[in-house]
Structure 1
Amino acid sequence: MPSTPEEKKKVLTRVRRIRGQIDALERSLEGDAECRAILQQIAAVRGAANGLMAEVLESHIRERLTEMTATAAKSANPLTTLLNWFEPILNS
C-alpha cells in the first residue's frame, strides 16, 4: 500500500480515473454503442487497472525491500520471503 500521502493521492487519482472509465463503459453499454467501441473501453479499463496494480505492487516491493534490508541479518533469505509473498498475486 502506498505509504506517503503523495503516493496515496496518486493511487486514489488513478482509482477515480478508472471509476470514470467504468462509468463511461456502462453508459456505452446502456446506449447500445458499437461492439468495437465497447471493446476499446474495456481494454482501456484493463490497462488502467494493470497500471494501478503495477504502481501499488512497486510501492509495496520498495517498502518490503527496505524492511528486509534493515532486518537482513535475521532473515535466512529475504528474496525468497519477498517472492513467496508475491507468488499468489502474480499467479492470479
Structure 2
Amino acid sequence: MSHTTAGKDKLIARVRRIKGQIEGLERALQAERPCAEILRQLASVRGAMNGLTAEVMEDHLRGHVLDAETPAARRQGGEEMIDIIRTYLK
C-alpha cells in the first residue's frame, strides 16, 4: 500500500487548507489589497506547500527507500527521489 493511500485523509485535509489559502489570495488580489498583505499570504501558501512536500518526501523515503523490501526496490525509490528533488529545486 502506498504511503499516500495510508495517510490520504490527512493529506487531503492539508490540500484543502492550501486550496482555501489560494482562494483567499485570489480574493485579496481581486479586492486590490495592499501588497504587504498579498506577500504575507504568498509566504503562508509557500510554507504550507513546502510542509506538505516535505511530508510526502519523507514518507516516500521511509516507505520506498529505508523500508524497501529488496535492494532493487530501494534503488528505484532512491532514483525516484533524486528525480523529484531535481524537479523541486528548479
**Counterpart in the other structure of 1:50:** 50
Give distance in 1, aligned partners of 2:77 and 2:37: 40
TM-score (norm. length: structure 1) = 0.79
What letter is aligned with 1:88? Answer: D
Structure 2 unmatched runs, 5+: none
**What is the letter of the counterpart of residue 54 of structure 2?**
A
Bigger Rg, structure 1 or 2: 1
Is 1:71 aligned with 2:73?
no
Alignment TM-score, normalising by the size of structure 2: 0.80
Indicate the SS of the match to 1:15: helix
Question: Match for residue 10 of structure 1?
Answer: 10
Post-superposition, which runs of at least 4 consecutive aligned residues in structure 1 deviate over 4 A? none
Which residue matches 1:59?
59
Number of equivalences: 84
- Identity value in percent: 41
Distance in 1 between residues matched to 2:5 and 2:59, nearest whole Å: 8
Query: Relative contact order (alpha carbons < 8 A, sep ≥ 6): 1 or 2 greater?
Result: 1
Query: How well do the aligned residues superpose, as a CA RMSD in angstroms?
Result: 1.8
Q: More helix per residue: 1 or 2? A: 2
Q: Distance in 2 between matches of 1:20 and 1:30?
A: 15
Aligned partner of 1:35: which letter? C
Matched residue of 2:52: which SS? helix
Shift of 1:59: 1.4
CA positional deviation for 1:82 = 3.8
Task: Name structure 1 gaps, 5 residues minimum.
Answer: none
